[in-house]
Amino acid sequence: MPDYLDDLRLAHVLADAADAATTARFKALDLKVETKPDMTPVSEADKAAEEVIRGHLQRARPRDAVLGEEYGVRGTGPRRWVIDPIDGTKNYVRGVPVWATLISLMEAGEGGFRPVVGLVSAPALGRRWWAAEGHGAFTGRGLTSASRIHVSRVGRLADASFAYSSLSGWEEQGRLNGFLDLTRSVWRTRAYGDFWPYMLVAEGAVDLCAEPELSLWDMAANAVIVTEAGGTFTGLDGRPGPHSGNAAASNGLLHDELLDFVNQRR
């Protein structure tokens, strides 16, 4: 079984390069921001970070495919790097420090592609999280300065903390009532948003989170980090992994109840 540690080390190199590109333009008064066809913003820093990651991968892993939010797919084969250069662009362009570069390696198998390496780097928060299949999940400043992380053991919704991004997507999908019922059933709710709820689940600070509409690059890195921390990561349909176009993550003990609530439609 591959250990993926060389790939994980490369992911850290990629994140270092992306962090340099993104932090250099964070809060810049002349930052250039455009609107994409889906009406979401993209900044020059999003493009620069993805370009620098692709450049490194072209040199270090020329046979691997790359899928990035800004520049699409390059290459084919059983290994694919999945990149979100800035997850939380709306925060980034407004000067809110909750944004991160998400890097994942996915590998083809019998059930399709699965994430085997994941790294989330949030330089404005001074935080980084990572995992490789079979090796657990960690947080720290780098491989030589890291602490292993684990999901919580909270087993009752009444004692649980639930994190989410916004209400609009739930309403658009007709799931708002179930979502609100869930918020009334837990101990605490907070809208941390984007990558952060998944990392908080992985390190046991939050017990469950969910989002109704996502892309693969939003989820691949998060999925392997949550699962290697001992948690559960599925779509709202219960399908394991980051392929459902939405996500639910938990410490595992509360996952069935989470799915029951967010799938209520009335």
Q: 80: closest CA among 61, 69, 66?
A: 66
Percent of the chain with pLDDT over 70: 98
pLDDT of residue 39: 64
Instruction: Give the pLDDT band of residue 183 (cuts 50, 70, 90).
Output: very high
In our burial notation (b when 16+ CB lie closer than 10 A, e otherwise), range 147-161 reads: eebebbebeebeebb
CA distance 156 to 144: 36
Q: What is the pTM of this model?
A: 0.95
pLDDT of residue 202: 98
Q: 105: closest CA among 54, 66, 156?
A: 66
Instruction: Give the pLDDT band of residue 106 (cuts 50, 70, 90).
Output: very high
User: If you average pLDDT over residues 201-218, what whole number do you get?
Assistant: 97
